[in-house]
Structure 1
């Protein structure tokens, strides 16, 4: 009891010099620690912080630019044929002296035989008996019984044809056409089909799914029965029908994508609209007499724009793979036109002898698909509120 009285006495009799008055302003209590951000600003900030997604975006931008600029970077035309330079290996100025990069303009093979002389003779015969343009290195001399002799033969086709000052950056195909030009031209066609699929998804799929989900009732029943019929028809069957009516090519693929390619997006948009249209802010807008067109464009679409962008980013690589698959089985782009699929198909036929015809377009299509998928993952994380910090 006495201690409490002493503490109270000491607190009430503290010297005034220990206290300093605080100058209070009008905005002191209302001060915000940091500037508030909108959902789109948060999404953009999260996306920019995603290093793999940003690297993928820069890679895709570079590939798109090269698909337009690349074919004009050398003197060879898209369909210029010269059988005298058919199946020439890749040769790049400045890299021709680095053999392990594969741009030195040589063919290198390993040959076996009972003796070194027999293996060397196989190497010489394989490259047209032009021994003076070959470098033969013994790998294993063998013992003449179970262990065979092995030699490595390196052939210099540019020197053999008197083309020491000629360079084909990615080699040439079986008709002597420059692969650099055709690869970038094929990339342009593949990207055109991919972005066409994305545009169809946005124009038809979003509109169709939005109308079906928002109005519901009999309209929704009719529209969904149409989608079920279209979904039941495989894309390959549609392509075969288009091939019968039309010739294989960009037009038939475009029509096939137009008929069935948008159904997935329409179903996703419909599901999101059905979930959102019963929310309080939509009911309030209806109560205030807001027209349906304005509710869809100003309230519903902004709220589902994230899922639309994400689905579109995954639609593009699927369309590229779809076109490559069709071209690989002969139902896509018709030669002499080129796409990444037709170039891979052509290179597959010569894989054992001339692997560079397959390697370069296969690497490019792999990079495009991986980059789009990584960028799609970045958009998915950016539009996820749980990822915002």
Structure 2
């Protein structure tokens, strides 16, 4: 563009640039620490936050849930055994399954035979059984089908009684036992995870920091412990201790901390060669202080994440032991022992299995989702 064309441009389109002091060094947004970034990333993960509140609610219910009704854990009464769930207001909505009735279908060569089977199954309480014919049949074997609905609360004169999720085989309230069993399972899991955390972090930190001969000796010990199956340990604990919380916690912690120790050792080996650790050594900082104030804070993310994944593993292990009869024994309750009782009565009384199975599944899924959320939160690459 030549000078002649430049003179045709209106002068009011140009404004002088006013340069203020320190404008070039102004920070457009406030800086955030690593913890603030991690918290922001975690809060942005909606599923993780929902699971955190869900776990808090479950923990609170395990503490206060048994107080919501008048029944004790060992309050037995065979006259009210295997009662189905019945909840006020919800009892008027039959399809929800909280109306306090037992329903099942029965077959026979004709309607009379199928009806007779239903009445015999429900202790001949014919006055409290509603029969609905589904198929009248053609006279051949099991061609007729009827649906029987047994009003067991009326039959046992418990019209004003409500068991929110039913009773077990000994007439104990399932609501009370469910939340007390959840409390036991959570206590075992948290205690085992806490011991794994303390022992694993200390052991792995010392092994990785000192290295050399110390590391070789400590790692050979870990390899020996890893080779011992947990089931063998719990069987040995059964011979020495009575079945219960103590034996399960000991079995979980004898070898459970080895995974944490290996992870911490690997992280320490990676971090200890960095400049800030070398600077601390140059200044004469004691080794214990370096581990406590420099190494552990920098690997805290992986420690928290591994602990969150340890808890559901401990809950499942306790449930497995109780299910096969090596864990919590009656009259004490845990999620595993409740599932064991429900499995034995799954066909006729499914409510004994459904509620503890759903609860343990929700707990384990929630802990895993929270663990995934924490892993993303402590990963700098995920921060925005």
Is the structural similarity TM-score above 0.5?
yes
Of residues 323, 326, 347, the one that matches 2:321 is 326
Aligned counterparts of 1:51 and 1:359: Cα–Cα separation in 2: 27
Task: Work out whether 1:230 is the aligned partner of 2:225.
Answer: yes
Give 1:44's aligned residue.
39
Moved over 4 A (4+): 8-18
Return the offset for 1:310.
0.7
Of residues 177, 180, 186, the one that matches 1:191 is 186
Aligned counterparts of 1:254 and 1:147: Cα–Cα separation in 2: 52
Of residues 151, 155, 160, the one that matches 2:150 is 155
Aligned counterparts of 2:219 and 2:4: Cα–Cα separation in 1: 82
Q: Is the 8 A contact 2:108 2:141 kept in 1?
A: no
Aligned counterparts of 1:114 and 1:147: Cα–Cα separation in 2: 5
Return the offset for 1:276.
1.1
SS in 2 for 1:29: helix
Gaps of 5+ in 2: none
Task: Work out whether 1:24 is the aligned partner of 2:12.
Answer: no
Aligned counterparts of 1:18 and 1:125: Cα–Cα separation in 2: 99
State the Cα deviation string for residues 45-84 of structure 1 (Å, max 9, x = none): 1110111111111110000000011111001111111111
Return the offset for 1:284.
2.3
Give 2:281's aligned residue.
286
Aligned counterparts of 1:369 and 1:107: Cα–Cα separation in 2: 31
Give 1:56's aligned residue.
51
Shift in CA distance, 29/12, structure 1 to aligned 2, threshold 3 Å: farther
* Corresponding residue pairs, total: 384
Return the offset for 1:383.
1.3
Aligned counterparts of 1:105 and 1:277: Cα–Cα separation in 2: 64
Of residues 305, 328, 350, the one that matches 2:345 is 350
CA RMSD of aligned residues (A): 1.5
Equivalence map 1:196-207=2 (5 Å): 196-207=191-202
Equivalence map 1:45-84=2 (5 Å): 45-84=40-79
Of residues 247, 251, 254, the one that matches 1:256 is 251
Gaps of 5+ in 1: none
Equivalence map 1:1-389=2 (5 Å): 7-8=2-3, 11=6, 17-145=12-140, 148-389=143-384
Query: TM-score when scaled to structure 1?
Result: 0.95
Return the offset for 1:302.
1.5
Return the offset for 1:144.
1.0
Query: TM-score when scaled to structure 2?
Result: 0.97
Aligned counterparts of 1:64 and 1:73: Cα–Cα separation in 2: 15
Return the offset for 1:189.
0.3
